[in-house]
Amino acid sequence: MRRTVAFTKNARNVFFHILTGCNLRCVHCYINPEQHGHTMLDTETIKEWLALFAPRSRETNVIFLGGEPTLHPGLPEAVRHARSLGYHSVTVDTNGYLFHGFLSKTSPSEVDFLSFSLDGATPKTNDAIRGPGSHAACTEGIRNAVALGFSTSLICTVSSLNLHELPRMPALLKDLGVARFFIQVIGLRGKAGAKGAELQVDRTDWQSLVPRVAAETAALGIPATFPKVFLDLDEPFACGGLVAENYFIFPNGRVYRCPLCEDYPWHSLEIREGRLLPREGITEMNFFSLNIPEGCVMARLIQPRGETGPDGQAARIACCLLKEKEEKGPWARKHGDSAPGM
């Protein structure tokens, strides 16, 4: 059964990039050092910043990312600190290398989800995107995590380079014992943005393949989530910056509410001297309330060429935070649906 996942209005999601460094050089990496810096936060600063977003009245989920967050030796301590502050769920997004013996220094009771990134069913396709040996490292990391009792999810970023292997992913997920599948669309950000149309998946390919693969994954008992991307004419548009509460924190102190704004100095908040402060002047907040026929203002600004719908009108693009989910049977969801758009 497929349903559009509405923005979660009673939860806050904190996407915390604790460093920007990474051992890989993926062709679609969304980290933009010019905008996000080269810093690795020290563990005490991570704890202080976690406290700034700690749950008060609302359920709050934290997702640790990078760069590669397991390159940070203080990650297990940061995970424990998030727990002690009352975060509802803790997720770690990893490329699978699991540095510093991460699995042995934390436990399934501390980490709700370990989320692995793999961009192809085969080493040939994945490694062409993510680097030599990365398929083997990631799948080994997943197997080790599953054997230790961690709940795992897998994120596949779909582009023109790997679309053909998407139908092979459900069987691989089943074999690996992955609990949830997130399909992401190639972004308009970072290195992918610079490569432009070359990596993009067109509307017809996306709509004919992605929902079908999600349904096949769900039929295996693995819930699958994918971005809505294209809106039909009668579907309502909503901007996640207005109706959801997501924070994307970078180690240089920038805090964004919209992932598509991350390539620009338009963050609406910043952390300075340990305080979370709103920014003056033009920020992403100015875009959220603009109402244009094409839907998302940022998608329109970044990709002015746009897409054309079957009626010849410009396609309406959904907020990149809006996801659809295929699932079979009950699924105990904690943060789940709020993977950032790529």
Enumerate binding residues for ligand SF4 (CB under 6 A). Answer: 22, 24-26, 29, 31, 66-68, 95, 117, 130, 239-241, 258, 260, 287-288, 296-298, 319-321
CB of 119 to ligand SF4, least distance (A): 9
Q: Output 11 or 296, the one with its CB closest to ligand SF4.
A: 296
CB of 178 to ligand SF4, least distance (A): 17
Q: Output 67 or 223, the one with its CB closest to ligand SF4.
A: 67
CB atoms within 10 A of CB 80: 17
Q: Output 24 or 158, the one with its CB closest to ligand SF4.
A: 24
CB of 271 to ligand SF4, least distance (A): 20
Question: Residue 136 region, left (φ>0) first, then alpha (ψ -120 to 50), else beta?
Answer: alpha
DSSP code string of 40-98:
B--HHHHHHHHHHT--SSSEEEEEEESS-GGGSTTHHHHHHHHHHTT-SEEEEEE-S--
**Local structure of 132: helix, strand or coil:** coil
Assess whether the previous peptide bond of 274 is cis (omega < 30° from 0). Answer: no
Q: Output 118 or 173, the one with its CB closest to ligand SF4.
A: 118
Residue with tokens 């693009």: 317
Q: Output 111 or 298, the one with its CB closest to ligand SF4.
A: 298
Q: Output 23 or 107, the one with its CB closest to ligand SF4.
A: 23
Residue with tokens 């910056």: 241
Spatial distance between the Cα atoms of 171 and 175, rounded to a whole number of angstroms:
6
CB of 132 to ligand SF4, least distance (A): 13
CB of 285 to ligand SF4, least distance (A): 10
CB of 135 to ligand SF4, least distance (A): 13
Both tokens of residue 259? 């992932």
DSSP state of 281: S
